[in-house]
Amino acid sequence: MPEQLDGCLFCTLAREGDHVAKGGGFVAIRDINPVADVHLLVLPERHVDTFRDVSAFSAEESGRMLAFIADTAREAGLEDYRVIVNAGAGAGQTVFHLHWHILGWTSGAAPGMVGFR
């Protein structure tokens, strides 16, 4: 897979978006259409289509990606939160550049699992 894919929205946002956090080849941005009080997206800077291709990352890179997600949530003030990946259109994936949703609720408990898209 190319490092960057021409015309990919998240390749562009990884390069020049409004980053909540950045480091080690990953960035976090605010979801434009939040479905929780805090709704962040973590993206690798390099283009990978979906979670199905997660083996494109080395074990070390995968570990850093997971640590980046947890660090981003903590820095956003979240202790309790959900991390969700939609893998494939049938699961609700609409942007085909791997991204992890971080969802946190500051005004009460998280809703039940049913209802994420």
What b/e string do you get for 68-83 counting C-beta neighbours within 10 Å, with b at 16 or more?
bbebbbeebebeebee
The least CB distance from residue 39 to ligand AMP, in Å, is: 7
Site string for ligand AMP, 38-57 (x = CB under 6 A): ---x----------------
**From the list ligand AMP, Zn ion, none, partner contacted by residue 47 (C-beta under 5 to 8 A by kind):** Zn ion
The one among 64, 72, 86, 98 contacting ligand AMP by CB under 6 A:
86
Q: Which stretch binds ligand AMP (CB under 6 A): 28-36, 56-64, 68-76, 108-116?
A: 28-36
Selecting among 47, 97, 99, 101, the annotated active-site residue is 99
The distance of Cα 32 from the centroid of its chain, to the nearest Å, equals 13
CA diameter of the chain: 42
Q: Show the tokens assigned to 72.
A: 């981003």
Active site annotation includes 99: yes
Nearer to ligand AMP, 54 or 95 (CB): 95
Q: CA 102 to CA 96: how far, in whole Å? A: 17
On whether the CB atoms of residues 25 and 69 are closer than 8 A, the answer is: no
